[in-house]
Amino acid sequence: MQRRQLVALTAAGLAAPAVLRAQGAAANWPERPVRIIVPFPPGGSTDTIARIFQPRLTELLGRQVVIENRGGASGSIGAIEAARSQPDGHSWLLAYDNEATNQTVMRLPYRTLEDLAPVSLVATGPLCLVAHKDTPYRSFQDVVEAAKRAPDTINYATSGVGGLAHVSTTLLAQQAGIRLVHVPYRGGGPALQDATAGHVPLFMSNVVIISQHIRAGTLRPLGVTTREETRHVPGVKSFAQQGVGDFEAPTWWAFFGRAGTPQPILERMHAALTQVLREPAVKARIEEQGADVIASDPAECRRFVAGEIEKWGRVIRENDIRADS
């Protein structure tokens, strides 16, 4: 008994300095500006959501919070930067749903749930397939009929290869018995520009960046990827309601820190972020864009992302989707 007590006391004594260092780091954090890496160019949904909560987060933390756009490779370039950052609480990642699909589509030098620390599932929302107003497609059935007459001739844009918009549209087309041609872009912003200009007839996107163009009549919604209709695109049926099996593919945004960041810092950031996201003014602005604020705890965020990696990884493998497809 005495030996076990001695071992326990020794272990506690060795752990104490590490705990004290972590507590000290949290007490002084943040010591300089905090950056949120947005792994897409300006103008996309992830950038839009980050810039809605950024000002209030700056006020709460007492240090400037800066948005750093690191676009490219379906969000993986920015995610790699976050995974390689120092675990001191000064670099964070606002990830998009591509983060889950990238884990299977790409060979990456990191693993999301090993090298990044889930902080909060920020929001979820519908993806929506839209057609430019000058196309003949007034319903998803119009697309199905045209694609069956002429397979591999109808283009659709997404924010990048292997992202949820790409993978889910692959599954949607498969379940509808049609073949479409994927046109990937380096983020939602560039894809939106070509979609609104009519350079590409179809665009699968989250509602955040296309809602104003739907309201303006430039883009025509053909279906949403939630199980039922959504308040964000009123009057538009889900693909499941239009006869495409039990199809469902909600989009999402999640906030991560670097794995190894002292737990007290992760907890302080979680508290600050969720406080901001739940403020009526911030919540309303995000939800006006076409997303539902979740502001989850870290455990829920981890479970959700793990489920997305598993679900869409299976679809990617079954359809042989690759980073160069």
Residue 137 CB contacts under 8 Å (≥ 6 apart), including other chains: 131, 143, 146, 201, 202, 220, 222
Q: Give pLDDT, residue 26.
A: 75
Better-predicted residue by pLDDT, 51 or 26: 51
Residue-wise pLDDT for 192-231, tens only, equals 999 999 999 999 999 988 999 999 999 999 999 999 999 9
Q: Give pLDDT, residue 74.
A: 83
Least confident of 13-17, 23-27, 170-174, 175-179: 13-17
Distance from C-alpha of 278 to C-alpha of 52, rounded to nearest angstrom: 12
DSSP codes joined into one string, 237-296: -BTTTTTSTT----EEEEEEEETT--HHHHHHHHHHHHHHHHSHHHHHHHHHTT-EE---
Average pLDDT, rounded, for the chain: 92
Q: Which residues pair with 181 in a beta bridge?
A: 155
Residue 228 CB contacts under 8 Å (≥ 6 apart), including other chains: 238, 240, 241
Residue ranges of the chain that CATH labels 3.40.190.150 = 6-125+251-318
What does the pLDDT average to over 75-103? Answer: 96
Q: Give pLDDT, residue 14.
A: 58
Residue ranges of the chain that CATH labels 3.40.190.10 = 127-224
Least confident of 35-44, 81-90, 116-125: 35-44
Q: Give pLDDT, residue 1.
A: 46
Residue-wise pLDDT for 280-297, tens only, equals 999 999 999 889 999 999
6 falls in which pLDDT band (50, 70, 90)?
low
Residue 5 has pLDDT above 90, yes or no: no
Over its C-alpha atoms, the chain yields an Rg (Å, rounded) of 22
Class of domain 127-224: alpha beta
Q: Give pLDDT, residue 269.
A: 98
Residue 131 has pLDDT above 60, yes or no: yes
What does the pLDDT average to over 252-276? Answer: 98
Q: Give pLDDT, residue 322.
A: 84
**pTM to 2 decimal places:** 0.85
Fold classification of 6-125+251-318 is D-Maltodextrin-Binding Protein; domain 2 (3.40.190)
20 falls in which pLDDT band (50, 70, 90)?
very low
Better-predicted residue by pLDDT, 134 or 44: 134
